[in-house]
Structure 1
């Protein structure tokens, strides 16, 4: 599909190269036993080089996150290089040196400084060594030779690990465009960002405006995907602006479009979560504050008993109330209403309509929780807990 022009994000065939001023590609460097593409490169040809990024809040940060936090501190970046097939986390000083050498290799081939190259990695924690380093550096050379203005799809393919497909989205408004790609299927829990995301725009905005818009967008999108409650060591969302459109939109308008792209990519992450058979939206309303609504929704999203019940098509609303009762949110447990797929099964903390009226067989599942104490609301996206999820993660290292 091509980008639309009304501000609505759609899955895209171009992703990060939909915006003018960007080239990208994805190549096979031999990092994955499967032989699938594993190194991606996205280059901003300008004229602007503004950047903003958010990273995992996990205290156990991978080497590329430590490096990239320094890169974006001055608001300038010219490229993002990403590898799958190894997280380069807990790989010691050798791992950080590998990250630095990767940035230097990109800098040499595109003619910029290493301090202007963001580095991202994804894959198994603890994977490193000479073979990993040689593969990544080999991939940089191959990618530099294959950069193209229509290379977005190849880049999106090269960053996936347990994902079943690449994830891209684009929005185009009034002569400027935002395009993005994402990867993520496991360890999907928030910490400013969720998994690896690269977003590009040809709008002409300074780094402080990009940072403002990005933090506002991720707060209500990626930060509210909580598929399995497990926070990655490598989570990165980076936004680069080329300014190639020559248009400077209002920050509010840009933020709205950016949020649409982030929301679309977040939804794609949820729909591809490892082993999931239900995509669950937990909508909390009637909260005393937005933070309370998020806290309540996240508590339900991380409750394994609730998630297992949904997998079994069992509308066990008692597990919902038990989950929210563990929070410090303001509410009276005996004044809460719970609906599942449009059927109110609990009213004022007591049974309402019979549970057998609830149909949980559709993949899309909606849980509506009314706390009844205020005007605030929030929605958390999660998934059920399935046999396939357990099997996939029990065999991840093998």
Structure 2
């Protein structure tokens, strides 16, 4: 049931023609309470879509009644008309739900730079129809409606001690930190205050969505929202809730990684032995964004020299001639030199692991990425066609 697994939530997904496929393209998620607490994190891209600009204003008081999401159009770089479209979407939802428009989050995903009266009318129609079809069983339909180039919906549910967390996500390209090109809605029926919800969400996204770096490209529309209904009446142990939220976010992030456009390998880069966690992240990301490394993995070539060359561009503390590297469990490099023969590394499975030991400290981090394939280039060369 995705976002409607926790108590206090209803959702819907409807098709209004924003997608040429005729598939669902507008989703609505409503928090029936009793709490209307929310937290959100947004893209760090300076170029922000109109729904992001609107939703950032909504989040000033930490109160959210509902969220409206559309696929089939990013509503980004569409000028005052685009912001008015977002505003009217919130007003339409508020009117039908009998709440304030200032408590309605709006999200959009799709092609940048397109938007007209037809787009606006379809989004408003989808908002109206979605609210009319709200139900406690509507979570799956909502998860389908937010898909763009995704091949499958992404959902996750965690059962806590008398409370639940539900989540849905979309994203298959432009996956890079600052949230990757994703829309994520998380829901919980636990009892949380605004500051608690915000702290938990930021802790979870920091080690999950912000560690997903599929292609190094940052979107304009990224948003991860957490809605809190408190309908269970249970105040969770803070550590237990934080761990559960990290689990759900990581599950969704890995699902996004596995559905990345054109990818043939899902690459998990673990960096350990770092002086600081930031160093570990920087080193892992340098490999994840190295096109020569990614091309090598696509070709099933365990070219560990590209790993060392990539990490050597960072400012992290380590001696490049005292680094160990494993690929799919085989130590191919030790102390900056060759170890086991490359022929021992099997890179034919989709799941690929790279372990880098910097041997200078006790900190670690994991980055999730993919290989660079012909299919990725083809799909993105014709994205707006």
- Interval of TM-score (by shorter of Structure 1 and Structure 2): over 0.9
| CA distance in structure 2 between the aligned counterparts of 1:121 and 1:156, rounded to whole angstroms | 14
| CA distance in structure 2 between the aligned counterparts of 1:259 and 1:387, rounded to whole angstroms | 33
Which residue, out of 160, 164, 186, partners 1:177?
A: 164
Which residue, out of 353, 357, 361, partners 1:366?
A: 353
Q: Which position in structure 1 is the counterpart of 2:139? A: 152
Q: Is the 8 A contact 1:182 1:198 kept in 2?
A: yes
Pair 1:52–1:113, CA change in 2 (3 A): same
Q: Which position in structure 2 is the counterpart of 1:8? A: none
Q: Please list, as runs of the form range in 1=range in 2, the aligned pairs for 1:72-151 lying within 5 A after superposition.
A: 72-151=59-138
| CA distance in structure 2 between the aligned counterparts of 1:260 and 1:284, rounded to whole angstroms | 20
Question: For 1:327, what is the secondary structure of its paired residue?
Answer: coil
Q: Which position in structure 2 is the counterpart of 1:203? A: 190
Q: Which position in structure 1 is the counterpart of 2:363? A: 376
1:132-176 deviation per Cα after TM superposition (whole angstroms, max 9, x unaligned): 101100101110111010100000000000000100000011110
Q: Which position in structure 2 is the counterpart of 1:220? A: 207
Q: Is the 8 A contact 1:193 1:236 kept in 2?
A: no
Q: Is the 8 A contact 2:212 2:367 kept in 1?
A: yes
| CA distance in structure 1 between the aligned counterparts of 2:83 and 2:191, rounded to whole angstroms | 33
1:250 aligns with 2:237: yes
Q: Is the 8 A contact 1:193 1:218 kept in 2?
A: no
1:35 Cα deviation after fit:
1.1
Q: Please list, as runs of the form range in 1=range in 2, the aligned pairs for 1:219-368 lying within 5 A after superposition.
A: 219-368=206-355
Which structure 1 segments of 5+ residues have no match? 1-13
Question: For 2:321, what is the secondary structure of its paired residue?
Answer: helix
Which residue, out of 7, 22, 36, partners 1:49?
A: 36
1:350-390 deviation per Cα after TM superposition (whole angstroms, max 9, x unaligned): 11111011000000000000111000000000000001000
Q: Is the 8 A contact 2:267 2:351 kept in 1?
A: yes
Q: Is the 8 A contact 1:171 1:261 kept in 2?
A: yes
Q: Which position in structure 2 is the counterpart of 1:38? A: 25
1:250 Cα deviation after fit:
2.2
Question: For 1:214, what is the secondary structure of its paired residue?
Answer: helix
| CA distance in structure 1 between the aligned counterparts of 2:381 and 2:83, rounded to whole angstroms | 28
Pairwise CA RMSD of aligned residues? 0.7
1:194 Cα deviation after fit:
5.1
| CA distance in structure 1 between the aligned counterparts of 2:140 and 2:177, rounded to whole angstroms | 26
| CA distance in structure 2 between the aligned counterparts of 1:261 and 1:386, rounded to whole angstroms | 29
Q: Which position in structure 2 is the counterpart of 1:186? A: 173
Q: Which position in structure 2 is the counterpart of 1:67? A: 54
Question: For 1:344, what is the secondary structure of its paired residue?
Answer: strand
| CA distance in structure 2 between the aligned counterparts of 1:383 and 1:271, rounded to whole angstroms | 8
Pair 1:223–1:22, CA change in 2 (3 A): same
Question: For 2:375, what is the secondary structure of its paired residue?
Answer: helix
| CA distance in structure 1 between the aligned counterparts of 2:128 and 2:209, rounded to whole angstroms | 32
1:280-308 deviation per Cα after TM superposition (whole angstroms, max 9, x unaligned): 00000010000000000000000000000
Question: For 1:334, what is the secondary structure of its paired residue?
Answer: coil
| CA distance in structure 2 between the aligned counterparts of 1:192 and 1:384, rounded to whole angstroms | 19
TM-score (norm 2): 0.99
TM-score (norm 1): 0.96
Q: Is the 8 A contact 1:56 1:234 kept in 2?
A: yes
Q: Is the 8 A contact 1:39 1:81 kept in 2?
A: yes
1:193 Cα deviation after fit:
6.0
Number of matched pairs: 385
| CA distance in structure 2 between the aligned counterparts of 1:47 and 1:144, rounded to whole angstroms | 19
Q: Which position in structure 1 is the counterpart of 2:375? A: 388
| CA distance in structure 2 between the aligned counterparts of 1:175 and 1:211, rounded to whole angstroms | 21
Higher mean alpha-carbon deviation, 192-201 vs 285-294, is at: 192-201
- Which consecutive aligned stretches of 4+ in structure 1 deviate over 4 angstroms post-superposition? none
